[in-house]
Structure formats: structure tokens, C-alpha cells
Amino acid sequence: MTRNSMRPALKPQPMSKSGAIKLNDTGEIGAGESLDRRRPGTSMNTRATTSSRRIAFDPAPQDDFFLPDFCAARMVLSIVLALELLALTLALARPSGTVFLTELARISLFMQWLGLTAAAALCYSRRWLAKLSVPVAALTAFSLLTVNVVIVSEVVFLLGRSLAERGVIVSFFPDSHWTFLLRNVGISAIVSIMLLRYFFVAHQWSLHVRAEARARINALQARIRPHFFFNTMNTIASLTRTDPSRAEEAVADLADLFRATMRDSVEPSRMSEEQELCRTYLRIEKLRLGDRLTIQWQMADALTLGIVPSLTIQPLLENAIHHGIEPLDGGGTVWITGELSDDDIVITVTNPVTEMTGRFIRPGNRLALENIRERLSLAYGERGRVDVTEGEGSYTVTLRFPYEE
């Protein structure tokens, strides 16, 4: 059976000014309502993929080479400050008979030359080094640093000899060639080995943290799926004999939804994709709840290109329906709003509750909310938040995370 045969052709419907979404008994959208069905035969996941480029979503985005990027301004500034602190320490450790400022200037100047030229060498060679195996890359980097020390030391010594012949600042430069050169090479070898080892260990630790974060996201995402899956299969089973066409429609929607959930969990979704997932989910739930379910959807157009961890909003709708709408005999309305506030995306989901269902909600809701809270924390750190507000007859969950494109 083709996908086109499973979805009846629908005419485009105008959008409601109020932003209200009402699903009729068949799960379709009535005239004047804003939850548009996608065109027959068009896969939601395919359309979403072609409409926006994917952006790698990683708890710590970086490449897989152990040496840091020495071309970055932040790294260069760190090198300058670290070398200056080291120069200050060495100058303070000199005998009291020496002139402190002269020693500080001499050591600082030499170390800055060494540090900045070494950073430049690693900056321009990093792309080539990244193609080598780790041992070969480390040995090559060590050789580059050693050669750099030899060249800078020779330049400094020759410059000092040239100035000494003219009687200019003789005490500022070394007077023993081989002692000066061998001492610098020896110190450089020790420091280079320690730094390369540190960079390698830090990189391995970073890879471990990233792998652990991916595993946690995968586990958290997997814990969200089964509840909805079993409910949907029960709905489809009940429709198979009574209304086969609606059962086929539900199967097609379920396929779209699970196609999206099976992709890499560290890859984000555009807000437009997440909204389409929510609409697909709502059509499935409408098959079970009928007129008991009403949705008020007010999402700012500016959020369309924003990115969000996959399956972040849909579980909130699932909880709102399962814990808020289902226990109410007459059903109710779920409100979904989205806006930009101080460069943050703010998503709010509100559902009705009664005093009895309020007590019933907390245990069932806590796990899903903690899952989403942890996923946002892994993705955005302290800027990813989940807040819960329990009012009289209502239950509101607010997501807040940085706006990114």
C-alpha cells in the first residue's frame, strides 16, 4: 500500500486569527483552524529535513584531535598570560642582588618569543598533524617545539652578540652560547612532554564526558517513548475493525513520528520540525479522545528557525493529555505558547487538573520532567531550565533555553 493511498487529499485551510486548534472526530482540521495537515504523500521527516540544514548538537562541540586550536584568540591570550606569570615567578626566584625589573623584562621577552612562535607553528601545522596517528602527531609536535626553541635561542644569542659588539645592553643577553642553548632545549623538552601528555589526557577525558552525555541522552529519550507507543497501538487495534481507514491514518502518523525519534538523539530539531511532530502526535491522540481534546496553539513565527533537542515538547503534550485531559470526564484544553524572551526560547504547556488529578499527576509527571530537565541541562548547562507552576485547576510546565539557529 502506498503512502498516498493512506492519506486522503485535503484542501488548504485558512489559519485562525486566534491561533486556536481544534481537531474534528476524524482527526482532521476544520475550516478556519490553524493546525494544518501536511500534503498527502509527503513525509513529515523528509520535508523537515529538506527545509532546514542540520546542525551538529553536541554537549561539547569540537574535533577529535587532542591538540587544542592554537589559532584561537582565547588560546593565544591564555598562552601570553601563563608565560607572563611564569616569567614573574622566575624573576622573583632570582638572587636579591639582581635588578628585578631587568630580570623580569629579559625573561618575559624571551618566553613570549618562545611561546608565541611555538603557538604559531602548532597553529599552522595542526590540520596536517590531525591526519596522523596520535603517537606520530605527538612526536612531530615535540620535534616542532624543539626546533622552535633552537631557532629562537640562536636568534636571541646572535642578536645579543651583535649588540654586545656595539656596547648596547650587554647584560640583557646571555654570554655563553652552548650553555644557553642546551639549557633552553632541556627545559623545553621537559615542558613539551608534560604539555603534550596533559593535552592528550584532557582530550580523552573530554571524549569520555561527551560519550557519557550521548549515552545519557539516548537513555533518557528511550524512557520517554514506550508509554506513548503502547497507547497508540491500543488505539490502532481498536480501530482496525471499526474504522480501518482511520487505523491506516494512525499507522502512517505513527510511522512519521517514530522515523523522527529513531534518528541520532544528539542531533537537534528545528522548532518547525518539533511543532510538526506535535501535530502528528495530536492527530493520533484525537483518535482516542475525540471532542474531549482541544488545543490552543500560539507559537511566535520568530521561533521557526530555532533549534531544540529532539522530542522535547511532544512529551510535555503527552503528559498534559495523559495526566490532565484523560482523568476529566468532559476533557479540556491544552494551551501551548512559545515566544522569544531575552534571546531565550520560552515554551509553556498548560493543562487543566482537578484536586484529585492534581495529587495523581505528580508521581507520573516527575520522571518525564526530570528527563527533559536533564536533557536541556546536558545541552545548554544552566541556561536550560524546566519550571513547573501548579495553580488552581491548572498545571503549567515552562521550558527555557537559548535561541540558536
pLDDT digits (tens, 9 = 90+) for 39-70: 344 443 433 333 333 333 444 344 678 899 89
Kindly give the residue spans of alpha helices, DSSP state H, lying in 243-313. Answer: 244-261, 271-289
C-alpha 268/C-alpha 307 separation (Å) is 6
In eight-state DSSP terms, residue 26 is T
C-beta separation of 388 from 397 below 8 A: yes
**In order of start, what are the domains of the chain with their CATH numbers?**
3-60+244-402 (3.30.565.10), 73-208 (no CATH)
Q: What is the pLDDT of residue 41?
A: 41
Q: What is the pLDDT of residue 42?
A: 40
Output the DSSP codes for 85-133. HHHHHHHHHS-TTS-HHHHHHHHHHHHHHHHHHHHHHHHHHHHHHTTS-
Alpha-carbon separation of residue 339 from 268, 299, 400 (angstroms): 19, 7, 10
Q: What is the pLDDT of residue 99?
A: 75
C-alpha 284/C-alpha 45 separation (Å) is 17
Mean pLDDT of 7-22: 40
Mean pLDDT for the chain? Answer: 76
Per-residue model confidence as pLDDT tens digits over 289-319: 888 899 888 988 888 888 888 778 888 888 8
Number of neighbouring beta carbons within 10 Å of residue 344: 17
Per-residue buried b or exposed e for 236-275, using 16+ beta carbons within 10 Å of the residue's own CB = beebeeeeeebbbbbbbbbbbbeebbeeebbebbbbbbbb
Better pLDDT: 101 or 73: 73
| C-alpha cell belonging to residue 257 | 513520528
Alpha-carbon separation of residue 76 from 8, 67, 109, 122, 404 (angstroms): 61, 14, 16, 12, 27
pTM of the model: 0.51
Say if residue 284's pLDDT is above 90: no
Residue matched to cell numbers 513525509: 43
Question: Helix or strand or coil: residue 202?
Answer: helix
Mean pLDDT of 110-126: 92
C-alpha 347/C-alpha 93 separation (Å) is 58
Residue matched to cell numbers 603534550: 196
Q: What is the pLDDT of residue 305?
A: 87
